[in-house]
Structure 1
Amino acid sequence: MTSLLLSVIYLTFVSLGLPDSLLGSAWPVMYPELGAPVAAQSALSMLISACTIVSSLATAKLVRRWGTGRLVAASVGLTAAAILGFSACKEFWQLVALAIPYGLGAGAIDSSLNNYVAIHYGARHMSWLHCCWGVGTSVGPVAMGWALAGPVSWHGGYLVIGIAQALITAVLVCSLPLWKNGPGEKDVGESAAGNAAGDAAEELGYGELLRLPGAGASIASFGCYSALESSCGLWIASLLVLARGVAEAQAASMVALFYVGITAGRFLAGVVADRVAGPQMIRIGQGVIAAGLAALISGGRDATALSVAIALIGLGCAPIYPSIVALTPSRFGEAASQGMVSLQMACAYAGSTFFPPVCALVVGAGGAALLPWLYVAVLAAMSVLAELANSRCRAV
């Protein structure tokens, strides 16, 4: 039963990744048809991120009330409905309206499942969970590319992914008895204090959580990591084209190496996670990112050197996100775990929302060549905060 439930959790994280890269893939075709300016993509992405922050912060209370299984099934259903709605949109305002349920559903899935796996399955499965997200983000653009190449256009791409999400929702509804009988899940109807982690104690409020030793540093380091990962994915292609003379099509292919590095790295991190401590995994990842950034800065216009640099940055990113989450129960206790994961997710979404526009301003001012140095600064801040979290949590 436990293995079957874990398979359902993996499938759910594939579903979380499926729509993440659709908007960027389809936007060049979408915005003229919808009569929207090209820059409207950023506004739509920021709205989705804002909604994920809201739902992440609400997840701890929702888990206590509904349990993880019911919350995840409802949230995937909400995202499925939103994505199916995207496929039928004729005007931009309709996309804006549907972005709200999509963001709310995605944030709850991310926060609740990360905490559940951190408590019940550990670092190995946490890494593989995020590897599944990478699989989803890789499949999404393939489906959209197929749709754009045929008569169904972007509407068909969203329809295919929406149907896949609806089918996964059905799987989750059928799996609810597994969650009830799985590790730590209580019947919410039998216990007012029951929650997915199986904790008897009520979780701490956010004010109390922020006062825990190392909490602020841990949350802020997560925000720095997400700022780095998201901005690399969005702006490395612009760096290659504008500052290194790489052709647009080749630059797009080279950026794919960043995501390949993340996905492959998370699989490998899962293999060694039981033998390497979480803080050490984070340090290794930061060291590999530093090597990748050094290669990116010194790579000049050599396509091979630049490709290796981009792959190294992705490989270095791979263990950091899952390791921070996996450390949360041991650092702060299970009673505080869901709330801390929710705060970390909210800060992560904030980092991925607000740092890429800073990069956009730099690129717009003709400073694309400065991007790697911005990434170096964010990496340095993340490294200092991660070590501060380690030291403060050990001192407890």
Structure 2
Amino acid sequence: MNNTIKQKSTFFLILVTYLAFISLGLPDGLLGIAWPFMSERLHIPLESLGVLLLSFTMGYLATSSTSGKIIKVISLGVLLAISCLLTGLSLLTYAFSQYWHLMILASFFLGSGGGAIDSSINTFAAARFSASTINWLHAFYGVGATTGPLLVTLMLTCKLYWYNAYIIVAGIQIALSLLFLFTYKNWTVATEETAEEIHSGYLQTLKLPAVWVNILIFFLYTGIEQGFGQWIFSILTKSRFISEAQAGLWASAYWASLTIGRIIFGILLTKIPVNKVLQGVLIGIVAGTSLIAINMTDAVSLFGIIVLGISNAPVFPSLIAVTPARIGKEHAATAIGVQISMAMAGASLLPGAAGLLSENYGLEVIPKFFTAAAVVLLLLYFLLPAKQPETSESD
């Protein structure tokens, strides 16, 4: 009887975790396509995206780096409810605000909500689930990220304003907030178990060399993943003169291939060693960014976008999954929090740096910049300690 109740509770937990990852992905997918229209409404240059991303990152770091302390004070369910409410209100500000400074403030709170969800959910998942399950969880982030640009593209195709997509997604976030609030008691046990593991000091963990290599890897990888997601639409429409509708579909193809890839790798990782998968896909990231950068034909660029999306798919969730084994369980919560914080820093700073470069060298410098980052990422991975978990067959 008790086992049946526990199984139902675990199933419900995974189900709601899927919803949390969808809620994380939806806003990320929106901005890449909406930004050109948003910047036009606010009468600011495209390069100002870096400012918005920096504000988002500051909010994200404020909560992700302190998530261990937060979940000792409130349950994970309450944290999710508050975070989704914050993101919903922030997205409504994106939709209606005519003031740039207010948008920057909203971006901070959007990051705060996302950071709280991301770090706490990933820490819990790494302790409870296998690499394959974590890939499936992150696939649902891709579902949200894929739906976002499709939603904006649908609005534009139907001759509606882009901000209607933000209103719809804000409504979804607020609805999720209510779901988490009404079911917060189901998260009590998970939160307590997670909190028990969060005792290793930051300084002790940061003395480990592998942590610093991981930090750089997360910084570069997330910068590449998010950077292409944010800039690809602008590159295609402003530099390669592809129609907005077609470019929107291509941007969606990027997020869709990432999502499909995580589903596929969720299966493959039950059979293939994690280390071999990571080595292969990191090489694929270099190949994908290179195909986009050389810009031979539209077909080659589209193929590069899909290769990049699929190659990106298992990197983040797999690195999260192997962190307890690679760093040590006593350091896992702290290490994952720091890694995710630096991942978001990369997601802001690398696209922002690419934007600054584009001011002097044009938009086509952006894929070249990310290709160089992909090469450095590949080299850093081979600096990691060789001992890693080979497979993850059980959840």
Match of 1:278 among 274, 278, 286: 274
Match of 1:227 among 197, 200, 223: 223
Change (3 A) 1:143 1:293: closer
Match of 1:11 among 6, 11, 19: 19
Could you say which residue in structure 2 is the equivalent of 1:384? 379
Match of 1:93 among 93, 96, 101: 101
Change (3 A) 1:38 1:132: same
Change (3 A) 1:26 1:230: closer
User: How far is the alpha carbon of 1:132 from its aligned partner?
Assistant: 0.6
- CA deviation vs aligned residue, 1:239-297 (integer Å, no higher than 9, x gap): 55677x56344444434332222111111111122222322221121122233345445
Could you say which residue in structure 2 is the equivalent of 1:137? 145
Tell me the distance in 2 between the aligned counterparts of 1:263 and 1:70: 28
> Is 2:126–2:324's contact at 8 Å kept on the other side of the alignment?
yes
How do 1:109-258 residues align onto structure 2 when only pairs under 5 Å count? 109-147=117-155, 153-181=161-189, 184-186=190-192, 195-196=193-194, 198-199=196-197, 202-237=198-233, 245=240, 247-249=242-244, 250-258=246-254
> Is 2:47–2:359's contact at 8 Å kept on the other side of the alignment?
no
**Helix, strand or coil at the partner of 1:20:** helix
Residue segments in structure 2 that go unaligned for 5+ positions in a row: 1-7, 390-395
The answer to which of 39-48 and 122-131 deviates more is 39-48
> Is 1:131–1:267's contact at 8 Å kept on the other side of the alignment?
yes
Change (3 A) 1:20 1:234: closer
- CA deviation vs aligned residue, 1:315-357 (integer Å, no higher than 9, x gap): 1111111111111122223332221111111111111211123
Tell me the distance in 1 between the aligned counterparts of 2:230 and 2:302: 16
The answer to which of 251-260 and 52-61 deviates more is 251-260
Residue segments in structure 1 that go unaligned for 5+ positions in a row: 187-194
Match of 1:70 among 61, 73, 78: 78
Could you say which residue in structure 2 is the equivalent of 1:321? 316
Residue 68 of structure 2 aligns with an amino acid whose one-letter code is A
Tell me the distance in 2 between the aligned counterparts of 1:372 and 1:30: 23
Match of 1:46 among 48, 54, 59: 54
Change (3 A) 1:309 1:158: closer
Could you say which residue in structure 2 is the equivalent of 1:22? 30
TM-score, with structure 2 as normaliser: 0.85
User: How far is the alpha carbon of 1:109 from its aligned partner?
Assistant: 0.6
**Helix, strand or coil at the partner of 1:114:** helix
User: How far is the alpha carbon of 1:216 from its aligned partner?
Assistant: 0.5
Could you say which residue in structure 2 is the equivalent of 1:300? 296
Change (3 A) 1:296 1:27: closer
> Is 2:132–2:269's contact at 8 Å kept on the other side of the alignment?
yes
> Is 2:71–2:191's contact at 8 Å kept on the other side of the alignment?
no
Change (3 A) 1:388 1:178: same
> Is 1:257–1:311's contact at 8 Å kept on the other side of the alignment?
yes
Over the aligned positions, Cα root-mean-square deviation in angstroms equals 2.8
- CA deviation vs aligned residue, 1:207-248 (integer Å, no higher than 9, x gap): 2211124110111111111122223223445655677x5634
Match of 1:365 among 360, 369, 372: 360
Tell me the distance in 1 between the aligned counterparts of 2:56 and 2:278: 28
> Is 1:215–1:389's contact at 8 Å kept on the other side of the alignment?
no
> Is 2:33–2:233's contact at 8 Å kept on the other side of the alignment?
no
Change (3 A) 1:166 1:310: same
- CA deviation vs aligned residue, 1:54-78 (integer Å, no higher than 9, x gap): 2111112112332433322222222
The answer to which of 361-370 and 333-342 deviates more is 361-370
Could you say which residue in structure 2 is the equivalent of 1:261? 257
Identity of aligned residues (%): 27
Tell me the distance in 2 between the aligned counterparts of 1:310 and 1:156: 27
**Helix, strand or coil at the partner of 1:275:** coil
> Is 1:25–1:144's contact at 8 Å kept on the other side of the alignment?
yes
Residue 327 of structure 2 aligns with an amino acid whose one-letter code is F
Are 2:338 and 1:343 equivalent residues in the alignment?
Answer: yes
- CA deviation vs aligned residue, 1:101-156 (integer Å, no higher than 9, x gap): 22111111111111111111121121111111111112223334455567973453
Change (3 A) 1:150 1:127: same
The answer to which of 252-261 and 164-173 deviates more is 252-261
Tell me the distance in 2 between the aligned counterparts of 1:216 and 1:142: 37
Residue 174 of structure 2 aligns with an amino acid whose one-letter code is A
Residue 310 of structure 1 aligns with an amino acid whose one-letter code is I
The answer to which of 205-214 and 92-101 deviates more is 92-101
**Helix, strand or coil at the partner of 1:358:** helix
Could you say which residue in structure 2 is the equivalent of 1:189? none
> Is 1:148–1:157's contact at 8 Å kept on the other side of the alignment?
no
Could you say which residue in structure 1 is the equivalent of 2:306? 311
Are 2:296 and 1:288 equivalent residues in the alignment?
Answer: no
Change (3 A) 1:21 1:124: same
Tell me the distance in 1 between the aligned counterparts of 2:291 and 2:41: 41
> Is 1:116–1:197's contact at 8 Å kept on the other side of the alignment?
no
> Is 2:91–2:167's contact at 8 Å kept on the other side of the alignment?
yes
TM-score, with structure 1 as normaliser: 0.85
